[in-house]
Structure 1
Amino acid sequence: MEAHQTRREFVVGACCVAGLVALGGVTKAYASDGTLLRPPGGQDEERLRALCIKCDRCRSVCPQHCVEPVSVTEGFLEARTPKLNFHRGYCDFCDKCIDACPTGALVAFNAEVDKIGVAVVDTEKCIAYSGRTCVVCQNSCPYEALSFDEAGHPVIDEDACNGCGECVMACNVNVNRAFDGSFERAIEVHAMGV
């Protein structure tokens, strides 16, 4: 018995292949851009994506309420995985999120050595750069990574900063300046390598 491929089978097969290629492109297009701040121990993006079952346990145990799920608009592949939002709280490295993770997507984290990210000052938004005095964030950093230069501008020591987000919580730029529609503050923590 000879195996012949009918025209219909060929067209269906070609459509399936084209669909899979398109799905791969769409999936890549809907992946995040690598700027998500992950909870302690989740800095290996590949590992986190592979192991996270989106159970939400890390968010529910966070005493500072800074862990929240990623929305679909931030990355289709990352949707419902955990990220940090320092406008809601800061990370005190209590390890509760790591202990609550049932799959090992979040691994051991040493706050003295490891980094969530690094704080960055936005000179366009910072009140201290507009000629006015603002020292709200001055004593916020428990790692002494934030200081002020002679001009009264905040300076971040990238080696000392571990991305805990306390300076972000302290910054009240959207309270003291005209709200410009942005939710970013004058100090934001950026993921490593961004």
Structure 2
Amino acid sequence: MNRDESPSSEKFAVSRRGLLAGAGCVAAMVALGGVGTAFAGEDTLVRLPGGQDDDRFLATCLKCDKCRSVCPQQCVSIAALEDGLVNMRTPYMDFHKGFCDFCNRCIEVCPTQALLPFDPETEKLGIAVIDEEECIAWKQGGCVKCVEACPYEAIELNQNDRPVVHEELCNGCGACEYACPSATFMSYSGSRRRGVNVEREA
């Protein structure tokens, strides 16, 4: 050891390196949109049946991918980094790929019971919400795809032939969002939203 170097100065150097590294990580996360947002995400993912208690779901999900693999409708996707570090690699409902028929296979295959028994007659994945800026019927009329697709009669046309959602009848199955043709027949805006979108309950 150099005469000018003491154990205490060595410890200080290590601590300072750790401090600088930590500061660099925080700065990077802030640059990506803030520490809280980068860590937790936007908290908008619609979870699979039985995973509506997000805190419990995140604490018990192994990210094993079995639920996605077993889904016959192929409407389960895996969250990416932009969904937040906490959510990354966890499953969520992607109604652009299909809709949930509540077959319960995801619940049955889950090895940790992160997905609890789910009754679609009394429980909800989320609620369908009409986006008037994206909806063909609201912008120019003539489209009834979401009304025809809903197996629970939760969407009907109002007096102006525009779709409205009866929240008490909707369980968030996603059939309406899957059937919505707005992304195909409307000019591309860059948005992933459709004329009707299933959103998590507040």
The number of residue pairs the alignment matches comes to 190
- The residue aligned with 1:8 is 10
Structure (1/2) with the larger helix percentage: 2
State the SS of the aligned residue for 1:155.
strand
C-alpha distance in 1, partners of 2:200/2:22?
32
Pairwise CA distance, 1:16: 4.4
The C-alpha deviation readout for 1:74-99, integer Å capped at 9, x for no partner, is 21221111011001000011110011
Which residue among 13, 35, 44 is the counterpart of 1:35? 44
Aligned-residue offset at 1:12: 3.2
TM-aligned CA deviation for residue 18 of structure 1: 7.4
Equivalence map 1:49-88=2 (5 Å): 49-88=58-97
Calculate percent identity across the aligned residue pairs: 41
Q: TM-score, normalised by structure 2?
A: 0.85
Shift of 1:19: 5.8
**Counterparts in 2 of 1:48 and 1:168: CA distance versus 1, 3 Å:** same
- Cα offset, 1:72, TM superposition: 1.4
Give 1:62 deviation, angstroms: 0.4
Preserved CA contact (<8 Å) 2:180 2:194: yes
1:49 and 1:22 map into 2 onto residues whose CA distance is 27
**1:160 offset after TM fit, Å?**
1.3
Flag the 1:53–1:147 CA change in 2: closer, same or farther, 3 A: same
Residue 131 of structure 1: CA displacement?
3.3
Equivalent positions of 1:115-154 (< 5 A) are 115-154=124-163
List gaps (5 residues or longer) in structure 2. 1-6, 30-34
Task: Tell me what 2:54 maps to.
Answer: 45
**Cα distance in 1 between the residues matched to 2:41 and 2:158:** 35
- Secondary structure (helix, strand or coil) at the match of 1:137 reads helix
SS at match of 2:52: coil
What's the Cα RMSD here?
2.2
